[in-house]
Amino acid sequence: MQIYVCVKHVPDSAANIVISGKNSIDKSIPFLINPYDEHAVTEAVKLKKSLKKSEVVAVCLGTDDAEKTLRSAMEMGADRSILIMVATGQDSITTAKALKAAIESDGEPGIIFTGRESIDDVGMQTMFRIGKAFGFPVAANVVKFSIKGSKVTVESEREGGIRDVYELPLPCVLAAGRGLNTPEYPTFPQIVKARRKQIKKIDFNTLGIEKIGAAMEVVELKPFVKKRCPVEIKGTPLVAAEKLAKILHEEAKVI
């Protein structure tokens, strides 16, 4: 089976975000693979090991620098990868179309794994758009996965621990959530091996993606800082507890 995994190159979650211009960020910060996409790669590689004759291909739409994220995916066990090269990030409407075109021109997908959301845009939608483009069913926030013949069974965590158990036919799109598996740090031999793996580069402009007159565009970016002036609650433990209760009652009005 051809297993595709969509991985996004995102700013390190610990990085300081500095806004540059009206609507973009200073990109001279570390970027790495989207954390949820690590779960997607891990699951894809696990699946490959249980199937005969299958291949895991990581796919990313991004700038040259995104090679690093594809390299990480290959260190984690993806066999090869595809980079759709763009000058700037695209919205999820266009991204999904490009990912579809690139995957389709490469092979016949059995399962496409994605992450449940990207930590920079938090669009929560690219997987559904990929599903629609292919005509495949989609399961979101997958925390458990099994396959039997041409059917997969997944547990999709909805909210507050509620899990929907779905059955989907192949081919399908599955968005990995945390809890699906535990990604492992690649070993040194895996890192060395990944250096020799292939990255196929496709220029976005050659994919012939038509803009459909629907788009999402960030027109302004502002830092979010909620000014807080920390005040210490002092006194003996009992006095502090009483003061805190008073704050909850009088100021926060929650009790």
Partner 1 sequence: MEKTGIFIEIANGRIKNANYGMITAARGSNSELYAFVINFKAEKIKKKLYAHGIDKIIEIRAENDFEMAWNPVSWSKAVMEAMNAFDIHILLALTTGIGKELLPRIAAELDAPLVMDCIGIDFDKKTAETFRYSGKTIATVKLTGMDLLFGIKPNIIDAVPVNTDSVTAVAMSSDSIDSTTREIDALPETKDISALTKPEIIPFTIKTDFLKTTGQFKNIKLNKTVMPETSSSDNFSNVNLMDADIIISGGRGMKNRENFKILSDCAKQLGAAVGASRAAVDSGWVPYSMQVGQTGEKVSPKVYIACGIAGSIQHFAGMKTSNMIIAVNIDLDASIIALCDYYIVMDLFEIVPLLTKVISEINHT
Ligand X SMILES: Nc1ncnc2c1ncn2[C@@H]1O[C@H](COP(=O)(O)O)[C@@H](O)[C@H]1O
Ligand Y SMILES: Cc1cc2nc3c(=O)[nH]c(=O)nc-3n(C[C@H](O)[C@H](O)[C@H](O)COP(=O)(O)OP(=O)(O)OC[C@H]3O[C@@H](n4cnc5c(N)ncnc54)[C@H](O)[C@@H]3O)c2cc1C
User: With CB cut-offs between 5 and 8 Å by kind, which of ligand Y, ligand X, partner 1, none does residue 115 bind?
Assistant: ligand X
6 binds ligand X (CB under 6 A): yes
167 binds partner 1 (CB under 8 A): yes
Residues in 86-105 that interact with partner 1 by CB under 8 A:
91, 93, 96
Task: State which residue, 216 or 244, has the beta carbon closest to ligand Y.
Answer: 244
163 binds partner 1 (CB under 8 A): yes
Residue of the chain from 114, 141, 156, 181 that contacts ligand X (CB under 6 A): 114
Closest separation in Å from C-beta 77 to partner 1:
21
Give which of 123, 136, 140 is closest to 61, Cα–Cα.
123
Residues in 20-49 that interact with partner 1 by CB under 8 A:
23, 25, 35-36
Q: Which two tokens stand for residue 9?
A: 């190159």
Residues in 179-238 that interact with ligand X by CB under 6 A:
none
14 binds partner 1 (CB under 8 A): yes
Q: 102 near 95, Cβ under 8 Å?
A: no
Give which of 194, 183, 185 is closest to 67, Cα–Cα.
194
Give which of 135, 67, 58, 123 is closest to 95, Cα–Cα.
123
Coil/strand/helix, residue 103: helix
**Dist CA 189 CA 195 (whole Å):** 10
Residue type, 106: D
13 binds ligand Y (CB under 6 A): yes
Task: State which residue, 135 or 237, has the beta carbon closest to ligand Y.
Answer: 237
* Phi, psi angles (nearest 5°) of residue 127: -60, -35
Closest separation in Å from C-beta 182 to ligand X:
17
Give which of 117, 132, 124, 123 is closest to 172, Cα–Cα.
132
Closest separation in Å from C-beta 178 to ligand Y:
8
Residues in 23-42 that interact with ligand Y by CB under 6 A:
35
Closest separation in Å from C-beta 191 to ligand X:
22
**Dist CA 193 CA 84 (whole Å):** 23
Stretch that binds ligand X, among 13-21, 119-127, 142-150, 218-226 (CB under 6 A): 119-127
**Dist CA 166 CA 139 (whole Å):** 8
Size of the site for ligand X (CB under 6 A): 24
**Dist CA 255 CA 242 (whole Å):** 13
Give which of 15, 13, 21, 12 is closest to 222, Cα–Cα.
21
| Residue ranges binding ligand X (CB under 6 A) | 6-8, 34, 36-37, 40, 60-62, 92, 95, 99, 114-115, 117-118, 121-127
| Residue ranges binding ligand Y (CB under 6 A) | 13, 35
